[in-house]
A and B are shown apart, each in its own frame.
Chain A
Amino acid sequence: MRALLCFLLALLLVQPVLAQTALPPAPYADRQLDDPAQEKKARDLMLTIRCLTCQSQSIADSNASMAGDLRSEIRQRIAAGEEPEHIRQWLIERYGDWISYEPTADPILWPLWGLPILLLIVGGLIAMGRIRRRGKKGDGA
């Protein structure tokens, strides 16, 4: 079932090799910040930023060079004291909503939160109703 994912991944893995000779890797792509609190902030943000050239991976766990560049960018901005949500806004402005896994407050996403809750409530009511009815019947019998 993973064949497709792997195929695309493999295509992507080729790219860094080709790109390497041309450009030096971004300084903080795979280098942690010295302050653990800042690194955690950066890491938490990276986990919710999509790697645009990969298939469904965050930039926190991708070999793609684009992911490395964004990791470096995020670490440097966090080190400079910028807030994670501010960086996210900057990324969204630059690359579009697609880059953030963190759902925005956009009305287009409301059903995403509403439907599960609705499903739970409706399903719960139906189940309760049936069990109650059965219970009463059972008593009467």
Chain B
Amino acid sequence: MIAELGLAALWLAASLALLQLALAAFGLKQGREDLLGGVRPVAVTQALLVALAFLCLVLLFLRSDMSVLLVAMNSHSAKPWLYKFAGTWGNHEGSMLLWVTVMGVAGAGVALFERTLRRDTHMATLGAQAAISLGFYAFLLFSSNPFARLDPPAPDGQGLNPLLQDPGLAFHPPTLYLGYVGLSVAFSFAVGALMTRNVDAAFARAMRPWVLGAWVLLTLGITAGSYWAYYELGWGGWWFWDPVENASLMPWLAATALLHSVTVLATRDALRAWTVMLAVVAFSMSMVGTFLVRSGILTSVHAFAVDPERGSFILALLAIYIGGALALFGLRVGTVREGEQFEMMSREALLVVNNLLLTVILGVVLIGTLYPLMTEAFGHKVSVGPPYFDRIAGPLALILMLAMIVGPLTRWRRDRAGVVAGRLLWPAIVMLGLVAVLAVTAWGRIGVLPFLGLVVAGGVALGSLIPLTKRNLRRTPLFIWGMVIAHLGCAVSLAGMASESAFNVEKLIAMAPGDSVETAGWTVRFDRVAPIAGDNWTAMQADVSASRGGATARLRPQSRFFTSPPTTTTESAILTKWDGQLYVVLGDRLDDGRWQMRIWWKPFVTLIWLGGVLIALGGVLAIIGRERRGWALKLRQIRAGEFG
């Protein structure tokens, strides 16, 4: 019954999305207020129904209902409940249902809480949101029904991939999806504003919290994903330039550019057309990412050709939405009035540099990700990987970071180059000092990119704090704090990346219980190894003691064996110290009875993710700082009964 209820709710939600689109379209075209009045209630009802459908699927997974095909394919009755729950979106159909659910709920949010936007733009935005949802509803209902029954029911499920049975990964995909879909709202805003010819500062202020929110979630999602890959894959790598990672990085790059340009538009009423364009690009990148991951095209062009239905469907959606939005942009860009003026030496100009570099990096990631697919189509298989991305995107990112020092220290509209240079004195001194220190201590031992990375990180770390000087810290607006902390986070993260790349120490060794080994100032002793059992796995667990300067810590790396499906995973053991992480992996047992161990000392590697969290925190502060007043007003309205 639950499955049928879910499917019915999904169909109803889809019909309401169609109704929402029709009401908005005809209401605006014919100027009929009676039709427009229905848009917001319909949007809210649609969200409730799609949420109900999602809830039904969650229930089916929690109850391990093996008469539902999706549950039987992806779950197992012996799994811990958290992974039954997370298993709901650990598969294609479930994740697409999560996607439309978030999209519907975000649409309801726009319907309920958006008050500053002009009425016609608001309605056009809701219509556009419904139009996007409709495509994904169709995708679910016609080619990926999550509620399909299995007759007769399976005795038990096939199980969830053990690599996914990890708390980090349980919440990483929903975070990213929330971010992707937040960008769909920005996209709808852009389409709405183009339709009603209403691109101005007020529009930017209405769109900004959605962009910031989506960006915060994308940042957290990418950070969490990177840490998951780091500890779960067992090789100590934190970024692989894997197409799946790139798929999440591209929307983030576009969102980062967008949040800067939307601020220019909101504050100075400049960069109008460009901001609208970026809003379109940002969500397009979300959809391109979904297409790449969901169509199977990443493994091979030929894998896509074998089962082209889903891939073609997403490709068609991509073409309709992106093509449609770009066509609308082309038609209406002429009517977007040129915004305010600014000069070469101004904060606006530096934010243009930011946008330009982010866009080029985005282009590099996109080209690099798609290029192997294109050459494969011509019969020539090539690989584009870390050497390419590091070499091109790395230097561009460093230049971007340098601009990040200058931007916040430059005035809006017009500034004098000499004065700005004066403000840059201290960061310049720090960077020169770092060059000198590193040249003496590490020249020739570390690569060029890590070297420059450490130098720039130092400069940005100091530079990011300068906007706080000469201010009363208590009266400094929250959004300034947000900017400072986010920029500081970039420096922290960069320092971690550069330090890990430059100073990582690797030790691969075969050890018998009782052996010990010295590496990077640590004495690592392999005490014993013993079998251990968990809920749905068995493992060999090593007891390792690591000592440095008199203090000893215990580490317990495991080699886990899961039965459903049969898989081994390595559970690395990580010891976190203030100056880095000791990373120990238990490998295979050799013929002579010794065990293969992999030991890494990764100086300051934790800064990578600490930086990511700081960046997200900066975003949260910026949202609160900008929106606090609006929220307070809204609360008063609700209390006064003016709601709805």
Contacts and interface: CB of A to CB of B under 8 A. Distances in A.
A81 B545 CA distance: 37
B508 interface: yes
B341 A135 contact: yes
Contacts, number: 178
Nearest to B294: A4
Contact of A138 (B243, B341, B363, B392): B341
A107 to B, nearest CB: 11
A97 interface: yes
Contacts of B234: 63
Contacts of A20: 588
B587 A116 contact: no
Contact of B387 (A5, A48, A124): A48
A86 interface: no
B135 to A, nearest CB: 19
A30 interface: yes
Given A3-B95, A112-B368, A127-B352, A134 B341 contact: yes
B242 A1 contact: no
Nearest to A4: B293
Chain A interface: which size bin? 35 or more
Nearest to A96: B381
Interface string B343-367: 1100001001100100110011001
Interface string A74-117: 00000000000000000000001111111110101101110110
Contacts of A109: 371, 382
Interface string A38-73: 000001000110100001111011110000000000
Contacts of B388: 101, 103, 112
Given A14-B567, A115-B367, A2 B588 contact: no
A109 B382 CA distance: 9
B149 interface: no
Given A2-B225, A31-B510, A61-B233, A97 B296 contact: no
Contact of A25 (B343, B414, B590): B590
A108 B507 CA distance: 39
A120 interface: yes
A134 B568 CA distance: 62
A32 B508 contact: yes
A119 interface: yes
Contacts of A104: 382
B298 interface: yes
A77 B471 CA distance: 62
A56 B240 contact: yes
A10 B28 CA distance: 52
A51 to B, nearest CB: 11
Interface stretch (B29-37, B45-53, B169-177, B473-481): B169-177
B324 interface: no
Nearest to B359: A123
Contacts of A134: 341-343
A24 B590 CA distance: 8
A131 to B, nearest CB: 5
A101 B384 contact: yes
Contacts of A56: 240-244, 298, 385
A32 B588 contact: no
A135 B506 contact: no
A61 B237 CA distance: 7
Interface string A1-40: 1111111111001101100100011000011100000000
Contact of A43 (B169, B240, B506): B506
Nearest to B399: A120
B164 interface: yes
A43 to B, nearest CB: 7
B360 A5 contact: no
Contacts of A1: 172-173, 176, 225, 244, 247-248, 289, 293
Interface string B195-228: 0000000000000000000000000000001001
A32 B507 contact: yes
B502 to A, nearest CB: 13
Contacts of B386: 47-48, 58, 101
B90 interface: yes
A7 B237 contact: no
A132 B566 CA distance: 64
Given A4-B298, A14-B566, A24 B383 contact: no
28 contacts: A1-B293, A2-B225, A4-B296, A4-B299, A8-B299, A10-B567, A13-B568, A14-B567, A31-B509, A31-B510, A32-B509, A55-B298, A55-B299, A63-B234, A97-B382, A97-B383, A98-B381, A101-B384, A101-B385, A106-B382, A111-B371, A112-B384, A116-B360, A119-B363, A120-B356, A132-B344, A135-B342, A138-B341
Given A97-B382, A109-B382, 14 more contacts: A2-B172, A9-B233, A30-B508, A31-B509, A43-B506, A47-B386, A55-B242, A58-B385, A61-B236, A62-B235, A103-B387, A108-B382, A112-B371, A131-B352
Q: Closest 4 interchain pairs by CB?
A: A101-B385, A61-B235, A138-B341, A56-B242
Interface of B: 90-92, 95, 161-164, 169, 172-173, 176, 225, 228-229, 233-237, 240-244, 247-248, 289, 293, 296, 298-299, 341-344, 349, 352-353, 356, 359-360, 363-364, 367-368, 371, 375, 378, 380-388, 392, 396, 414, 506-510, 565-570, 587-588, 590-591, 596, 598
